[in-house]
Amino acid sequence: MAIERTLSIIKPDATRRNLTGQINARLEEAGLSFVAQKRVRLTPEQAEAFYDVHKERAFFEDLCNFMITGPVVVQVLEGEDAIAKNREIMGATNPANADAGTIRKDFAESIEANSVHGSDAPDTAAREIAFFFSELELVG
Ligand code: CMP
């Protein structure tokens, strides 16, 4: 077990329904701390660059279009095993497969409008955090 940092995004379907506070409360209650957070509107170029790893997937264009339909909240979470812990709290990508009590089970509308994103591994977390935040903005 180690103290890790991970990138989390509250997606447009969740900001539109005013779920930011409820999602943040779940993250804090699970022992994760916020070391950075900001509300932004992604440009099409930013959405495409962020999801570059998925550019060959059939859902890439729809996903990028969805991510610019409204504001998102990008945040850096810190805690013991933060990457795995955040993914546990989020639940499976497809809300139909998500465990009871997870964010996606309780809030997601579909596999695309699935309320939250979380980094899936340490190297991805480092890349995704640097995509949105400078070192100066990470306040532990
Ligand atoms: P996220 O964790 O943000 O990473 C990529 C996103 O693509 C994923 O959540 C889903 O919202 C979205 N997506 C849409 N369709 C699919 C699919 N068939 N398989 C995986 N991810 C999908």
- Cα of first residue to Cα of last residue in the chain, in angstroms, is 18
Ligand 1 center–CA 136 separation, angstroms: 30
pLDDT band at 8; cut points 50, 70, 90 = very high
Flag whether pLDDT at 16 surpasses 90: yes
Atom of ligand 1 minimally distant from the CA of 9: 3
Query: Taking residues 35-39, what's their average pLDDT?
Result: 98
Whether 54 is a known active-site residue: answer no
Give the residue ranges of DSSP H helices in the chain: 12-16, 20-29, 44-50, 60-67, 82-90, 103-107, 122-132
User: What percent of the chain is modeled with pLDDT above 90?
Assistant: 99
pLDDT at res. 73: 99
The enclosing H or E element of 72 equals: strand 72-80
The answer to whether the CB of 59 is under 6 A from ligand 1 is yes
What whole-number distance in Å separates Cα of residue 83 and Cα of residue 2?
10
Ligand 1 center–CA 112 separation, angstroms: 6
> Which residues are within 8 A (CB) of 83 and not within 5 positions of it... i.e. 6 or more apart?
4, 6, 118, 119, 120, 121, 122, 125
pLDDT at res. 1: 74
Catalytic choice (107, 117, 125, 129): 117
Beta carbons within 10 angstroms of residue 82's beta carbon? 28
The answer to whether the CB of 114 is under 6 A from ligand 1 is yes
User: What percent of the chain is modeled with pLDDT above 70?
Assistant: 100
Ligand 1 center–CA 7 separation, angstroms: 16
State which amino acid sits at residue 41: R
Q: Summarize pLDDT for 55-107 with one digit per residue, the tens.
A: 999 999 999 999 999 999 999 999 999 999 999 999 999 999 999 999 999 99
pLDDT at res. 95: 98
